[in-house]
DNA sequence: CTTAGCCTTCCACTCACAGGAAGGTTATGG
DNA sequence: CCATAACCTTCCTGTGAGTGGAAGGCTAAG
């Protein structure tokens, strides 16, 4: 199967699949004409990565997850630890964004938003609040 | 005042201040020895940027905010529109992260996390769920 | 025979800096 | 007078995770 079909089946852009090959995350066979050729196993791998990325794991974490997936002697504790770390990271980001949202929504609602130049948002950013 | 003190007063690393100068966001005078020299006005500007960045505005949005701040004929509606757009962006990111958190925390709690290789997290990523 | 739609490689760009090398300046201490 | 430390300068490279585009090869259909 050519890269276009692999793209459709995996949900990843062809550019991204080539990039993953560049960084050694996946591989591909080649046909005589130089085209990449994918089998079921690689598609499976690509979908695995697509799902992992969709949960916000970094590409390096995906690499680790893949190697854990392919290691029959892994312990589920290792996988869980990785996922827990990532979950904490997500939690941290949400907290940070929630703080911004809180401040910003206050500022937005305190700004009348008309043709006049007076603006509490700018006043706050300027430190006069 | 030299860049080190400007850094302390603004809360921005010296590297960042030089970068902002590179991209034309701020400026600085120079002493005879080539050192950057900052006055009150530039410090004020740096703090303005620091606060704006802290609320998650992009550097380009900071540039716009600064020019609005310096424009006596601005309308507060323009500022508010910018802030509202940004607020929506933040909301979107929070939603995305919350979705990840939801899925991930379910997966983490369904994984026993011991020495055995069987792992619901990997099973899910592999699409067998 | 040409056109469209695939595919290839390679290079540059994104964003917002951070790290580090190589070297100049200045304050302090002996 | 000299050494040393703590500043400062410019310039180059790297980050993460791709995206965009150029220049060119392959192939099926009309």
Summarised one tens digit per residue, pLDDT across range B38-90 is 999 999 999 999 999 999 999 999 999 999 999 999 999 999 999 999 999 99
C-alpha distance across the termini of chain A, in Å: 62
* Range name among A99-103, B56-60, B93-97, B125-129 with the lowest pLDDT average: B125-129
B-chain residues near A112 (CB < 8 A): 76
Question: Please, which contacts does A106-110 make with residues 24 or more away whose CB atoms are closer than 8 Å?
Answer: A107/B83, A108/B80, A108/B83, A108/B84, A108/B87
Question: What is the mean predicted confidence (pLDDT) over B106-120?
Answer: 95
- Phi, psi angles (nearest 5°) of residue A29: -80, 170
Distance B60 CA to C17 C1' (A): 14
- Does B68 contact A at CB distance below 8 Å? yes
Contact: A93, B91; criterion CB under 8 Å: no
Q: At residue B127, does pLDDT exceed 90?
A: no
Answer whether A46's CB lies under 8 Å from A5's CB: no
**Structure token digits, residue B78:** 């323009």
From B59's Cα to the closest Cα of chain A, the distance in A is 14
Nucleotide minimizing C1' to CA distance for residue B25: C16
- Does A104 contact B at CB distance below 8 Å? yes
Distance A2 CA to D19 C1' (A): 21
Answer whether B113's CB lies under 8 Å from A74's CB: no
Q: What is the pLDDT of residue A129?
A: 57
- Does B23 contact A at CB distance below 8 Å? no
Give residues 7-66 of chain B lying near strand C (Cβ < 7 A): 13, 15-16, 19, 32-34, 53, 58-60
In this prediction, residue A65 has a pLDDT band, given cuts at 50, 70 and 90, of: very high
The residues near B124 (Cβ < 8 Å, ≥ 6 apart) are: A51, B107
CA A128 to chain centre: 38
Reported as a single tens digit per residue, the pLDDT across B80-92 is 999 999 999 999 9
Q: What is the pLDDT of residue A127?
A: 87
Find, among A37, A38, A46, the residue nearest to A10 by Cα: A46
| Residue from B119, B124, B127 to probe the interface with A (highest A Cβ count within 10 Å) | B119
Answer whether A114's CB lies under 8 Å from B77's CB: yes
In order, the DSSP letters of B24-80 are: TS---EE-TTS-EE--HHHHHHHHHHHHHHHTT--HHHHHHHHHHHT-TT--HHHHH
């Amino acid at each position: 199967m050519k890269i276009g079909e692999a793209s459709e089946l995996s949900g990843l852009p062809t550019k991204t699949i080539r990039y993953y090959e560049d960084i050694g995350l996946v591989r591909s066979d080649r046909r005589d004409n130089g085209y990449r050729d994918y089998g079921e196993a690689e598609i499976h791998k690509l979908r695995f990565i697509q799902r992992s990325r969709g949960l916000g794991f970094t590409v390096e974490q995906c690499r680790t997850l893949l190697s854990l997936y392919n290691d029959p002697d892994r312990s589920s504790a290792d996988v869980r630890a990785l996922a827990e770390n990532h979950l904490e990271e997500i939690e941290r980001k949400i907290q940070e964004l929630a703080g911004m949202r809180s401040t910003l929504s206050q500022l937005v609602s305190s700004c009348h938003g008309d043709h006049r130049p007076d603006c509490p948002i700018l006043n706050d950013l300027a430190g006069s609040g």
